[in-house]
């Protein structure tokens, strides 16, 4: 999704090695990990932040190897999902930062174009989530109501 408006070709970077079980040194207590995920979510952390905290502070390199589910699935099972998906919310926050910047820098044409591209990504992602049933079919992106939507 993030490479949609750039001339880059394909994905670059490393891939995770194939591993089917958690390492011996890792924390494999499924109940404790589930409680940690729920408590970190209650503190306001996103799923990406929860994964980083579990990896760095609690010796859980991959939640899926221990629980058999992703962090988002654990939150969904416990009815702790956010109103908007995490990737869409981060795009809306980016759009809000660009709008704030453009209010004080009206002639910044580069960032005005970036705002258009970001809003295009939001609309495209909204269509996807509406077809998947994760977002209300009547939902529409409106720039003037963006501050109310961003949590």
Q: Which residue has the higher pLDDT, 19 or 104?
A: 104
Check pLDDT > 70 for residue 3: no
* Closest CA relative to residue 41, chosen from 14, 63, 66, 65: 63
Find how far residue 40's CA is from the centre of its chain: 15
Place 151 in a pLDDT band, splitting at 50, 70 and 90: low
User: Is there a contact between 126 and 138 (Cβ–Cβ < 8 Å)?
Assistant: no
Rg (CA), the chain: 19
Token pair 């992602």 is at which residue?
125
């Amino acid at each position: 999704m993030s490479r949609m408006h750039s001339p880059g070709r394909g994905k670059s970077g490393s891939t995770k090695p194939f591993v089917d079980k958690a390492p011996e040194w890792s924390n494999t207590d499924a109940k404790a990990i589930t409680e940690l995920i729920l408590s970190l979510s209650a503190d306001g952390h996103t799923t990406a932040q929860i994964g980083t905290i579990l990896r760095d502070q609690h010796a859980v390199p991959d939640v899926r190897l221990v629980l058999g589910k992703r962090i988002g699935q654990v939150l969904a099972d416990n009815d702790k999902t956010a109103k908007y998906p995490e990737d869409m919310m981060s795009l809306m926050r980016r759009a809000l930062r660009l709008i704030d910047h453009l209010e004080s820098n009206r002639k910044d044409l580069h960032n005005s174009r970036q705002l258009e591209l970001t809003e295009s990504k939001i609309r495209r992602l909204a269509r996807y989530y509406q077809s998947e049933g994760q977002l209300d079919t009547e939902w529409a992106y409106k720039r003037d109501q963006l501050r109310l939507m961003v949590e």
